[in-house]
Amino acid sequence: MNSERRSAVPLKTILVVDDEREVCEIISDALTGQGHKVESASDGIEAVEKIKSSEFSIVVTDMDMPRMDGMQLIEYIVHNHADIDIIAITGHLMRYKYTEVVEAGATDFITKPFTINELEAKLNRLIRERSLREQLSKLAVRDPLTGLQNRRSFEENVRKEAIRTTRYQHTLFLFFMDVDNFKKYNDLYGHQAGDALLIETANLLTNSIRENIDSVFRYGGDEFVMLLPHLPAAQALSVAKRICKKFDLLNLKPTSLSIGIASFIERSGTIEQDIQDMIQRADTALYTAKKGPGKNGVFVDERSR
């Protein structure tokens, strides 16, 4: 029975907050028995310190506590850790109305006295809903054909990388890539073959980046982009040429791969303007690369060399 429940419900890291030590231990033991990783705190102040230093998916908190009560803790979590779900517990139904607690940001509400089965049922339902949200979120930023992150995800990630680049003063290169003669390939071999080519290209690019450092995206159609932080200019050119050679080895005639390269340059404008400037320069570099004889070229933006 327990093993079936554990396999059906994804395991989470949970923080239990209650100033009654016995209650805290009972809840913690029950959730640990389900297979979850559980930590505990005696009030909101201690809970905040633990949330700052560790990652939690869910907080189960009492409402009446010294120093910082449950409502204050909920408000802190909502404003600083919006990805954490909250189950509120109270023995004072008249003091804390369900609607008030939920409007404050709690995902669910349970009233003392309660059974462990009641808590487990609410927790399991919350976890299933959370898992569904995570799946939908992944689908929203993934290209369904290639499995790469999509243009929407690129727009989110390029801003994050640009902020890091500005803060830590390291390099950031953007590759704009385009499959040459893709329409001709589709006309010759059909759209299924064209889709297969895009999938193969996506796999090649994924295998050409540094894991957990670089990122690759399908920008649209037969266009792909890469973000490569912490990379010297000479090495950026070398990586691009190596990718083109790998593509040639696929022998997908009459196609080839062209790449335009630009680096992030901090100017007097806003970070959004600097990002758009980098994108425009990479796009122009790609256009220049495709103008060469036989296309299949790499061109580095002049300001990025």
Domain parsing of the chain, residue ranges: 2-140, 151-304
pLDDT confidence of residue 82: 87
pLDDT confidence of residue 116: 87
pLDDT confidence of residue 252: 95
DSSP string computed for the chain: -HHHHHHHS---EEEEE-S-HHHHHHHHHHHHHTT-EEEEESSHHHHHHHHHHS--SEEEEES--SSS-HHHHHHHHHHH-TT-EEEEEES-TTTS-HHHHHHHT-SEEEESS--HHHHHHHHHHHHHHHHHHHHHHHHHTB-TTT-SB-HHHHHHHHHHHHHHHHHHT--EEEEEEEEETHHHHHHHH-HHHHHHHHHHHHHHHHTTS-TTT-EEEEEETTEEEEEEES--HHHHHHHHHHHHHHHHHT--TT-EEEEEEEE----SS-HHHHHHHHHHHHHHHHHHHHTSTTS--EEE-GGG-
Domain 2-140 has CATH 1.10.540.10: no
pLDDT confidence of residue 92: 62
At the topology level of CATH, where does 151-304 sit? Alpha-Beta Plaits (3.30.70)
List active site positions: 222
Over the chain (305 residues), the average pLDDT of each successive run of 10 is 46 90 90 91 94 92 90 93 90 71 87 86 87 74 93 94 92 97 96 97 96 95 96 92 95 95 90 95 95 80 89
